[in-house]
Amino acid sequence: GDSVTQMEGPVTLSEEAFLTINCTYTATGYPSLFWYVQYPGEGLQLLLKATKADDKGSNKGFEATYRKETTSFHLEKGSVQVSDSAVYFCALSDLEGAQKLVFGQGTRLTINP
Amino acid sequence: GAVVSQHPSWVICKSGTSVKIECRSLDFQATTMFWYRQFPKQSLMLMATSNEGSKATYEQGVEKDKFLINHASLTLSTLTVTSAHPEDSSFYICSARDPWALNEQFFGPGTRLTVL
C-alpha cells in the first residue's frame, strides 16, 4: 500500500538556521502531497500542498517541491524562528475514492533562540 | 480555515466502561469525517472513514464492534470506545472534509483518552 517516510527527529536548530526535513513516498497512483504542522496543544494544520509533479507548495516561508522522479517532497525553510517549533507531518492522498490521508511518522522540530 | 471541534479534550475512565468522543464541524457541512489514533511520538493512523447517513468504513485491523462510529448529521460524528481497556489509551483525532474547500481535511484538536 501507499506509505510515507520522514527523516527521524527530533531536530534541534538555532534561530535563523536553514531547515530541511526529508520526506519520501511510495504510491501506486499519482497522489497529492502535503505537509501538516501540529503546534503544542493544537490540532494539525495544513502547511502546504502540491498536486502534481514539479509543483511547489509554499506558506509562511516554508517550501516543498513535488519530485516525481525521486518520489520526494522535502520541506525547507531558509531561516527558522522559535515559533516554528512544532511537529511536522508529511502526508499523501490519492485523488480517487475516499481521498484518505497517509501520514509519515512526524518530525519534532525545536528552535532555540 | 474551517473549524473542527472535539469534545471532550481529555477523559479518564475505568477499565470496562465506554467513552464517547464527539467531532463537530462548526462552520461547514461535512459528508465525510475521519477518525485517527495517534500513539506517543508516532504518526496518525487512520481508524475509519465516517460517512453521513451510512455505515463507517473501517481500516484493516480496527475492531468495528469496539470502536463504534456514528455520523448522524452533516456536522457531527461520534466515536464510542466500548469496554475500554488500558491498551485503548491514546490520542484520538478526527478530521472533516470540506467539499467547498477542494475537499481539504480540517482537523480537530484531539482527545486524550486514559483508561485506568
Digit-coded pLDDT (tens) for B17-62: 999 999 999 989 988 999 999 987 778 999 999 988 888 999 999 9
Segment B61-82 shows an average pLDDT of 94
pLDDT tier, A98 (very low <50, low <70, confident <90, very high otherwise): low
**Which pLDDT value is given to residue A65?**
98
Q: Which residue of A has its CA nearest to B103?
A: A99
Segment A10-39 shows an average pLDDT of 94
Q: Choose the mutation target among A6, A7, A44, A107 for the interface with B, i.e. most B CBs under 10 Å.
A: A44
pLDDT tier, A104 (very low <50, low <70, confident <90, very high otherwise): very high
Rounded distance between C-alpha atoms, residue B93 and residue B81, angstroms: 13
A contacts of B32 (beta carbons < 8 Å): 98
Q: Are A111 and A60 in contact (CB under 8 A)?
A: no
Q: Does the CB of A99 have a partner CB in chain B at under 8 Å? A: yes
Query: With 70 as the cut, is the pLDDT of residue A37 above it?
Result: yes
Buried b (16+ CB within 10 A) or exposed e, A48-75: bbbeeeeeebeeeebbbbbbeeebbbbb
B contacts of A103 (beta carbons < 8 Å): 43-45
B contacts of A100 (beta carbons < 8 Å): 34, 46, 49
Rounded distance between C-alpha atoms, residue A83 and residue B65, angstroms: 42
Segment B65-71 shows an average pLDDT of 94
DSSP B105: E
**Which pLDDT value is given to residue A9?**
84
Segment B73-100 shows an average pLDDT of 93
Task: Kindly write down the DSSP assignment for every residue of B53-80, as one continuous string.
Answer: TS--EEPTT--TTTEEEEEEETTEEEEE
B contacts of A45 (beta carbons < 8 Å): 1, 107
**Which pLDDT value is given to residue A2?**
87
Query: With 70 as the cut, is the pLDDT of residue B14 above it?
Result: yes
